[in-house]
């Protein structure tokens, strides 16, 4: 692309500015709660957050699945805080085993892309043994959704067969780049 000096300088400044703008996004965990409803199938050894920087929080989970799970369903729901948590945008049920074969659900695809590199969950069913999420932190560039600034809760209920086995409830904050809004 050809451009005159002043215009080139302006484009350069614009690009540099945009990179700074991206750095201004805050996207981090604020709480995590894991709960097993059936200790003879799923046991959480730990499920916790650790602040490692001003705007960086690591999530670590070690859960053990004591018998192979061949049929896993996830019910995911997002809430946004506005004097209490209100349902927001998404309420979806995903066949997790089918998803791991086909990546068929666009929302699950985003969530999975956020954590796949931090986990040993990247394989098809069945799931058995230690399920690990290690030093998982949120990368705004993977989100690919226009989130308004706010506090959110992603509630996920996990069913084996038709029975609820455990919940993972993850709260996070998203702050849009302030310079743009």
Ligand X SMILES: *[C@@H]1O[C@H](CO)[C@@H](O)[C@H](O)[C@H]1NC(C)=O
Q: Which residues bind ligand X (CB under 6 A)?
A: 38, 40-41, 45, 62, 64, 67, 71, 100, 122-124, 130, 132, 161-163
Kindly write down the DSSP assignment for every residue of 78-117, as one continuous string. EEEESSSEEEEEEEEEEEHHHHHHH---HHHHHHHHHHGG
Cβ of residue 74: shortest distance to ligand X, in angstroms?
A: 13
What is the closest distance, in whole angstroms, from the C-beta atom of residue 10 to ligand X in the complex?
39
Which residue lies nearer to ligand X by CB, 2 or 162? 162
* Burial class of 161 by CB neighbour count within 10 A (0 to 12, 13 to 18, 19+): exposed
Q: Which is nearer to ligand X, 12 or 126 (CB)?
A: 126
Q: 62: burial class by Cβ within 10 Å (0-12, 13-18, 19+)? A: middle
Maximum C-alpha span of the chain = 70
Q: Which is nearer to ligand X, 44 or 85 (CB)?
A: 44
Please say which residue, 42 or 175, places its beta carbon nearer to ligand X. 42
126, containing H or E segment: none
- The secondary element (H helix, E strand) that includes residue 10 is helix 5-23
Q: Are the beta carbons of 93 and 105 closer than 8 angstroms? A: no
Minimum distance of ligand X from residue 48's CB (angstroms): 11
> Minimum CB separation from ligand X for residue 16, in Å?
32
Cα–Cα distance measured from residue 101 to residue 43, given in angstroms and rounded to the nearest whole number:
25
Smallest gap, in angstroms, from Cβ of residue 168 to ligand X? 16
Report the residue number, 21 or 142, with the smaller CB distance to ligand X.
Answer: 142
């Amino acid at each position: 692309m050809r451009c005159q000096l002043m215009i080139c300088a302006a484009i350069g400044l614009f690009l540099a500015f945009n990179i700074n703008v991206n750095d201004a996004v805050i996207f981090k965990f604020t709480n995590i709660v894991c709960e097993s409803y059936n200790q003879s199938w799923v046991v959480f050894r730990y499920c916790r957050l650790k602040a490692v920087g001003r705007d960086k929080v690591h999530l670590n989970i070690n859960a053990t699945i004591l018998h192979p799970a061949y049929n896993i369903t996830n019910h995911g729901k997002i809430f946004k805080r506005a004097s209490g948590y209100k349902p927001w945008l998404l309420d979806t049920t995903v066949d997790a085993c089918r998803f791991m074969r086909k990546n068929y659900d666009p929302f699950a695809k985003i969530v999975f892309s956020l954590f796949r590199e931090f986990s040993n969950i990247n394989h098809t069913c069945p799931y058995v043994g230690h399920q690990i999420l290690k030093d998982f932190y949120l990368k705004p560039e993977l989100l690919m959704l226009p989130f308004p600034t706010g506090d959110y809760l992603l509630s996920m209920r996990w069913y084996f067969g038709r029975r609820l086995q455990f919940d993972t409830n993850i709260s996070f904050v998203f702050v849009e780049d302030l310079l743009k809004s």
